[in-house]
Amino acid sequence: MAAAGMKPTIFVNDGLDSQLALVARAQGWLVDCSDGDSVQLSVAIAICDGSTESVDSLRSRFPLALVVAEPSDGEAITTEHADLNLPPGTPRGFAVQMLSLGADHWHRNRRMMDLAKDVARRKAQTRQLSEIGLSLSGRGDVEALLETILSEARRLVPSDGASLYLVAKDRAEDELVFKLAQNDSISVPYIEQRLPLTRESVAGFVALTGNELNLADVYRIPPSAPYRFNASFDEQMSYRTRSMLVIAMRDHRGDVVGVLQFINRLSADGETVTPFVDEDAEILRAVASQAAVSIQKNSLINNINQLFESFVHASVKAIEQRDPSTSGHSSRVAQTTVELLQALPRSDVSRFHGLTLSEDHLKEVRYAALLHDFGKVAVRENVLLKANKLTDERLEIVRYRVELQKERLRRRAVERQLHALHHGSESNDVARARSLRQLEREISLLDDYFDAVASANKPNVSDDDRFDHLQAIRQYGFRELDGTLSGLITDADLVALSVARGSLTTEERQEIQAHVAHTIEFLSVLPWPPELSQVSLIAGAHHEKLDGSGYPYGMVGDEIPLASRVMTVCDIFDALTAMDRPYKPAMSEEVALNILHSDVKRGLLDADIVDVFSQAKVWRCLDRPVSKAV
């Protein structure tokens, strides 16, 4: 019985006395009379007795063979089912020609079969290359990308091991970075390391020249070659590297960005190490090209992400430089917002149990929180930095007016005393005492007025205070030196001091509130990728309230994005507890939480979110280092 690829075989049904088989044996053919153990693809001629059943059976068993009908009893057989009919007493010459015909037919069929296999194999390789391209294009993590490159390449061209090197240009001299190694025979103790980029190493030579190296045996490199194989790995691991194929990875400009090194090409049965052939190099060259593009794309994406991260932090720094008192606010709000958002599905609140948060969405929320106050760059500085209801300059003017009025009153008191001295009937001591008592009352009233102004000047966290007494101060009048009637405070001062909550007048508050519209406008013009397309919406809704009283759109309930509702809670809490606000002392956590719960009762904030924030003590995440992973 012959193996496939050896001499053609003639098969004869057991017990059939075949004249053609005798001639074939004399011609050096292999003759198989077994019952079904023949190597099917080695049979070139199959002899049967001519029955339809035997012809069909042999044709199905031996797809490459000519089926010849030959009589076993000397009688002629004529059948349309066989490929050839062999009459009794066939001359030897005719039998020889028939054998030649059968051999030619068999060789043609073998060739066609091999071609069909080759086409199928190439189709499979093309499909694999396409799958590799899709796989590489979808990889975002660098380490996973490199692992995929090597494993997929070794799947295309069976290799016992492979290594991947990248060219590093981030230092004074270019280096070769050993990034990854795979080996099926041994466990590779891989440690990333930087190597000198020289022609002396196999990988370095390919990286510098861009030339491929196909080495049948790395221990037989010609002495004239500029490179040498480093056998230290083989010696350390008791391994034997034989064949090696080293291919450069080139980017779209043709520059070498790395090197793929394949070790010990395996035979079809996976048992024998064979040299790499030109077809292997052609396939792996295509993989190297795809790998280079993927690595460069990944590098560009990482660079863009780093650039964008730097841009976001530069934007935050620009905000904080305009208002240094709120330095760190945006970063704290970003960290607590992401923390609270992640705490929702872990909480006992059933409405949040099905909430899924992708890494992209967490990054989107983080950027929105970092940039939520960027629009403040368009707010006037004297409004943005207004610590009290009156500016320091305006309060000093009020103080000056009070002190000036005191001097007027003292002068009038002296004038009254002089008048009483010259014209009065009372004793001088009595008149002087009465004048001093009146002066003291008037000066004390002015002191009380200024103290009231100074007290009202401090901003309030709540809007419970009343300011009716300010009307009396406004009505207090006196004559200026030019005779015009004036007062301690103006109508504008009265409006500012009567602000119930905070330090801003209605007009100033509207200007501050406009920062949200400026934020939306700024963020909307940036070319956000699809996974970050909601940044402007999330950032722009952090001052919306559930009852519709918020701004800028007056959204109600679920119209407000969940991430924005989360950010609102974190933003308010940080504003209340921050120690860097000049217009108010920092509140305790307990007081700040009470205010949040009060806002819940007023229908402003989401009760479940505030409860999770309080129960999880989300603000404690600020004690941990800030993570930029999302």
Kindly report which listed range (36-45, 107-116, 162-171, 473-482) carries the lowest average pLDDT score.
Answer: 36-45
pLDDT tens for each residue of 82-93:
888 877 777 888
Residue 488 DSSP one-character state: S
Q: What pLDDT is attached to residue 271?
A: 86
Nearest to 524 by CA among 306, 374, 329: 374
Average pLDDT over residues 302-311: 84
Tell me how far apart the alpha carbons of residues 362 and 364 are, in angstroms, rounded to a whole number: 5
Q: What pLDDT is attached to residue 614?
A: 95
Q: What pLDDT is attached to residue 140?
A: 55
Tell me how far apart the alpha carbons of residues 630 and 627 are, in angstroms, rounded to a whole number: 7
Average pLDDT over residues 125-140: 62
Residue 152, phi then psi, degrees to nearest 5 = -70, -40
Residue 389 above 90 pLDDT?
no
Q: What pLDDT is attached to residue 12?
A: 85
Secondary element (H or E) of residue 66: strand 66-69
Q: Are 234 and 194 in contact (CB under 8 A)?
A: no
Residue 419 above 80 pLDDT?
no
Residue 115 above 90 pLDDT?
no
Residue 463 above 80 pLDDT?
no
Q: What pLDDT is attached to residue 365?
A: 96
Residue 525 above 80 pLDDT?
yes
Residue 481 DSSP one-character state: T
| Chain CA centroid to CA 573, Å | 29
Average pLDDT over residues 450-479: 80
Q: Are 248 and 256 in contact (CB under 8 A)?
A: yes
- Identify the band that residue 62 occupies on the pLDDT scale cut at 50, 70 and 90: confident
For residue 29, give the 3-state DSSP assignment: coil
Tell me how far apart the alpha carbons of residues 226 and 209 are, in angstroms, rounded to a whole number: 12
> Within 13 Å of residue 435, how many CA atoms lie on the same side as its CB?
21
Residue 619 above 70 pLDDT?
yes
Residue 628 above 70 pLDDT?
no
| Amino acid at residue number 81 | H
pLDDT tens for each residue of 261-283:
999 999 988 889 999 999 889 88
Q: What pLDDT is attached to residue 464?
A: 54
What is the architecture, at CATH level 2, of domain 9-115?
3-Layer(aba) Sandwich (3.40)
Tell me what the pLDDT averaged over the chain comes to: 84
Tell me how far apart the alpha carbons of residues 256 and 21 are, in angstroms, rounded to a whole number: 63
Residue 135 above 70 pLDDT?
no
251 or 71, higher pLDDT: 251
Residue 459 above 70 pLDDT?
yes
Structure-token pair, residue 269: 């049965």
Parse the chain into domains and list their residue ranges.
9-115, 138-299, 323-383+508-623, 392-503
Percent of the chain with pLDDT over 90: 34
- Identify the band that residue 564 occupies on the pLDDT scale cut at 50, 70 and 90: very high
Tell me how far apart the alpha carbons of residues 551 and 129 are, in angstroms, rounded to a whole number: 54
Q: Which CATH superfamily is domain 323-383+508-623 in?
A: Hypothetical protein af1432 (1.10.3210.10)
pLDDT tens for each residue of 346-364:
999 999 999 999 999 999 9
- Identify the band that residue 110 occupies on the pLDDT scale cut at 50, 70 and 90: confident
Where does 137-272 show beta strands of DSSP type E? 159-168, 175-183, 193-196, 213-215, 244-250, 256-266
User: What fold characterizes domain 138-299?
Assistant: Beta-Lactamase (3.30.450)
Q: What pLDDT is attached to residue 630?
A: 40
Q: Quickly tell me which residue has 């009396």 as its tokens.
A: 472
What distances in angstroms separate CA 436 from CA 415, 429, 450, one per listed residue? 12, 11, 21
Residue 122 above 90 pLDDT?
no
Q: What pLDDT is attached to residue 245?
A: 96
Q: What pLDDT is attached to residue 1?
A: 37
| Amino acid at residue number 32 | D
- Identify the band that residue 627 occupies on the pLDDT scale cut at 50, 70 and 90: very low
- Identify the band that residue 2 occupies on the pLDDT scale cut at 50, 70 and 90: very low
Kindly report which listed range (153-157, 501-505, 551-555, 567-571) carries the lowest average pLDDT score.
Answer: 501-505
Question: What is the widest separation between alpha-carbon atoms in the chain?
Answer: 178
Average pLDDT over residues 204-218: 95
Q: What pLDDT is attached to residue 129?
A: 63
Domains 9-115 and 138-299 share a fold: no
pLDDT tens for each residue of 151-210:
888 888 899 999 999 998 888 889 999 988 999 999 877 778 899 999 999 999 999 999
Q: What pLDDT is attached to residue 629?
A: 40
> For the packed helices 278-322 and 142-156, what is the interaxial angle rounded to 10 degrees?
170
Residues whose CB is less than 8 angstroms from the CB of residue 297 and which lie 6 or more positions away in sequence, other chains included? 137
